[in-house]
Structure 1
Amino acid sequence: MKPVLVLLGSNIEPERHIPQAKAELQQLLADCVFSRTYLTAPVGDPHQPPFWNLAAKGKTPLSVEELQHQLALLETRHGRVRDPARPCGPRTLDLDLLLYNQEVGLFGSLQLPSPLLSREAFVLVPAAEVAPQWLHPVLKKPLAELAASLKAEGIEPLPEEARA
């Protein structure tokens, strides 16, 4: 079983897609735990609603490629449409594999660790909440330390009542 870290995001009906995706990830990953859900400003394409983002930490017997395939299938089941004209545009569900064990490299089109894990607050804040002592395999620093070094603008915990 390999430890993994996955980022979940949605800004199209997130109140429906995020809870369903969490339930499905609990079936896919052993010992799955989630961070709080954060309301985050869109990055790269500001003309869209804010995102709900959270991180999931778990374990898998699957290879990187098999896990990535399962995550893509889950996105598809939730109606994810990839618009080449707006790669950072609105989406029903986005699942990004951030860390897989301590793997470093290119796996098809997937870069591990995710480049987002070293520079984006909407990724690092929830990731550090759920796995604070996990080391970034390239930077060799705990995720909590990396998150603390960022300005966490445009990200705030979603109130509990908004997630119901």
Structure 2
Amino acid sequence: MPEGKLIYLSLGSNLGDRAANLERAIAALPEAGVHVLRRSSLYETEPLDFRAQPWFLNCVVEGQTLLLPRQLLHALQGIERRLGSRKLIPRGPRIIDLDILLYGTSIVRTPEIEVPHPRMTGRRFVLAPLAELAPGLHHPALGATIAELLAATPDKSSVRPWQPPASDVPS
């Protein structure tokens, strides 16, 4: 892929096989115009706004794209639809959720899309995996590094590295 914009995407799932949902979404990114460079570990995170729901698995993907921000948003929404995600309750349970966190150093504010993601600094479940990949990256609007934003976030919710359960293997 020719060099494009460096982007960071947040992925989350709390319905069905959460890890498989994330894997399917990541596998769909190249066809949607995103060259995946790296991905964070998976993190198990407690829900924030609508708390009466299962815990999430979250990760962050670093990639490159030639798509414009609005095109990228539509491509990610297409992946969500293809994987069966429906947002019936705002910030509620979902099979898959994909968000644009950063699009190079661009600042985009339209009725349809805001980049950097407007709530990322208040979300430990976004900042922890992003800091794993790019702790020294500067937020385009705030100037602080991702590591600094993680240390300063008011969100104290549980975000812990996730490992799949060990298989039941006979000894």
- Same fold per superposition (TM over 0.5): yes
Residue in 2 aligned with 1:88? 91
| 1:32 and 2:37 matched | yes
Give the secondary-structure state (helix, strand or coil) at the position aligned to 2:94.
coil
CA distance in 2, matches of 1:57, 1:133: 14
Does residue 113 of structure 2 align to residue 131 of structure 1? no
Q: Which stretch of the first structure deviates more once superposed, 115-124 or 44-53?
A: 115-124
Per the alignment, residue 112 of structure 1 pairs with 115
The count of residues paired between Structure 1 and Structure 2 equals 161
Moved more, 129-138 or 73-82: 129-138
How many Å apart are 1:133 and its aligned residue?
A: 1.7
In the alignment, which of 138, 141, 144 is matched to residue 144 of structure 2? 141
**In 2: Cα distance, 1:29 partner to 1:131 partner:** 18
Local SS of the residue matching 2:9: strand
In the alignment, which of 51, 70, 80 is matched to residue 75 of structure 1? Answer: 80
1:4 to 3, 7, 17: 7
The one-letter code matched in structure 2 to 1:9 is G
User: What RMSD in Å do the two structures reach over aligned CA positions?
Assistant: 1.8
Question: Structure 2-normalised TM-score?
Answer: 0.87
- Mark the runs of 5 or more structure 1 residues left unpaired by the alignment: none
Task: Report Cα offsets for 1:79-117 as digits up to 9, x if no partner.
Answer: 01121xx20110000000011111113134211110222
Which structure shows the bigger proportion of residues in helix conformation? Answer: 1
Q: Deviations over 1:22-70 (max 9, x none)?
A: 2122553224210010000001000000000000011111111111111
